[in-house]
Amino acid sequence: MRIAYLVNQYPKLSHTFIRREIAALEQLGHTVDRYSVRQTSDHVDPEDRREAANTRIILRGTGPLVAATTWCKLTRPARWIKACFATLRLARHSERGLMRHLIYLMEAARLVADLDRQPVDHLHAHFGTNSATVAYLTSILGGPPYSFTTHGPEEFDKVPAIGLPEKLEHAAAAIAITSFCRSQLMRWMPVDRWDRIHEVHCGLDEHFLGSEPTPVPDTPRLVCVGRICEQKGQLLLIEAVARVRDEGQPVQLVLAGDGDMRPLAEQTINQLNLHDHVSITGWIDATRVRDEILASRALVLPSFAEGLPVVIMEAMALARPVLSTYIAGIPELVREPDNGLLVPAGDIDQLTDAIKRILTLNTQTLTDMGKQGRNAVLERHNANTEAARLAKVFQQVSSKP
């Protein structure tokens, strides 16, 4: 089976789960053509650099877009008119306006022209936002059946604005990465179409699943991995660490990542005099992420909004407990007290108490929690197993007349 994968920006450091999914599909014998709407750069991970060399960029110069648009108008006028009306409907409630959606239409024309030269059996997009819009319009213009994976929270924050109901109506299948995500899609799908929604988890490969677990180190070191932004809750975490420090408890926190809020995070570290307790690494590759997790007592991710963070799976695969929040799909994997601790999002008092608990639990208890977490990930988040489930969905929907 030949599958085209479409992502708004690919490869990206935060999208390693897509790379793993593609690799697993190819190991199953399927051919996967990679498409990215926009060019990406600053590839820290060597695997991403290799992926970039195999990825076709849609939005690269206006000439190919104009040529593809003209070709679509001339060769499939009825489909072009239908796609124009769909574009107007999507733009009507969108915050991005008509001009941006006309660009999406041209991107779809560019993709369908490419797929006309190299046909595929199925088109799959990751995320229900821009890439799903282009996939939807590509299908109207005569492209293959399409599906898309929803992750949250972005798709569910602005459902009408991104035209999610219309995309769901016309998609051959919708993939949800958690049960919570599936429930949110069910809100926007008629009951008689719920069978189009399939739960397929993001998965890990042997880089995380293949190594033998190691005991939790006897050190007061915690790690938070992710983009430094509002929804990840790092500012709250820094304040909680200051409280723990002020109570005389030894604590060290590594913020592994970067983002728009890094300057504010650094300012908060300075104001609270936490230079000896909190450090920021900037963007690091998968090997360094693995090393940072293994060197820590637990992963802490006090997010306000999420789908199900892949880094939680990675930490649990490495047999490290997780401290996170009761939101979205996180409680489906992090079970207190079996493999981690959960606190209400935004509650600094409970976050502080949970950090103190993690720091004072003996390492054997934490190691046992880590082993249970690893077993849960092995059962639910093996990239090969999940890719096989996904391929089955693709084959079923692509074989329908």
Distance CA(282)–CA(226), nearest Å, equals 10
- pLDDT reported for residue 98: 95
Compute CA distances 223 → 81, 278, 300, whole Å: 52, 10, 6
Please indicate, yes or no, whether residues 286 and 184 belong to a single structural domain of this protein: no
| Closest to 226 in 3D by CA, of 169, 165, 308 | 308
Distance CA(305)–CA(303), nearest Å, equals 6
Order of all β-strands in the sheet with 173-176: 55-57, 31-38, 2-9, 122-126, 146-150, 173-176, 197-199
Structure tokens belonging to residue 78: 């009825």
Contact call for residues 202 and 381 (beta carbons, < 8 A): yes
Please indicate, yes or no, whether residues 253 and 340 belong to a single structural domain of this protein: yes
Strands 221-225, 298-300: pairing kind: parallel
- pLDDT reported for residue 273: 98
Give the structural domain span for 102.
2-203+382-398
Residues of the chain under the 50 pLDDT cut = none
Helix/strand/coil for 217: coil
Q: Give the CATH number, domain containing residue 351.
A: 3.40.50.2000
Please indicate, yes or no, whether residues 184 and 230 belong to a single structural domain of this protein: no
Distance CA(345)–CA(354), nearest Å, equals 12
Please indicate, yes or no, whether residues 300 and 346 belong to a single structural domain of this protein: yes
Contact call for residues 323 and 354 (beta carbons, < 8 A): yes
Q: What are phi and psi of 353, to 5 degrees?
A: -60, -40
- Is the N-terminal amide bond of 160 cis, ω within 30° of 0? no
- pLDDT reported for residue 69: 97
Structure tokens belonging to residue 145: 């059946």
| Angle in degrees, 0-180, between the axes of helices 97-117 and 62-75, rounded to the nearest 10 | 70
Terminal-residue alpha carbon distance, the chain:
16
Distance CA(348)–CA(354), nearest Å, equals 10
Helix/strand/coil for 325: strand
| Closest to 332 in 3D by CA, of 195, 201, 206 | 201
- pLDDT reported for residue 44: 76
Overall number of domains in the chain: 2
Please indicate, yes or no, whether residues 305 and 188 belong to a single structural domain of this protein: no
Contact call for residues 226 and 232 (beta carbons, < 8 A): yes
Contact call for residues 145 and 122 (beta carbons, < 8 A): yes
Structure tokens belonging to residue 399: 């074989």
Please indicate, yes or no, whether residues 354 and 271 belong to a single structural domain of this protein: yes
Q: List, in sequence order, the alpha helices (H) in 141-198.
A: 154-157, 164-170, 179-186
Structure tokens belonging to residue 174: 């919708």
Strands 252-256, 197-199: pairing kind: unpaired
Please indicate, yes or no, whether residues 142 and 188 belong to a single structural domain of this protein: yes
Sign of the C-alpha dihedral, residues 96, 89, 186, 130?
negative
Contact call for residues 161 and 168 (beta carbons, < 8 A): no
| Closest to 136 in 3D by CA, of 169, 110, 94 | 169
- pLDDT reported for residue 401: 60
Please indicate, yes or no, whether residues 230 and 184 belong to a single structural domain of this protein: no
Please indicate, yes or no, whether residues 84 and 132 belong to a single structural domain of this protein: yes
- pLDDT reported for residue 306: 95
Please indicate, yes or no, whether residues 187 and 216 belong to a single structural domain of this protein: no
Please indicate, yes or no, whether residues 193 and 222 belong to a single structural domain of this protein: no
Contact call for residues 325 and 344 (beta carbons, < 8 A): yes
DSSP line for 72-134: HHHH-HHHHHHHHHHHHHHHHT-SSHHHHHHHHHHHHHHHHHHHHHS--SEEEEESSSHHHHH
Please indicate, yes or no, whether residues 291 and 145 belong to a single structural domain of this protein: no
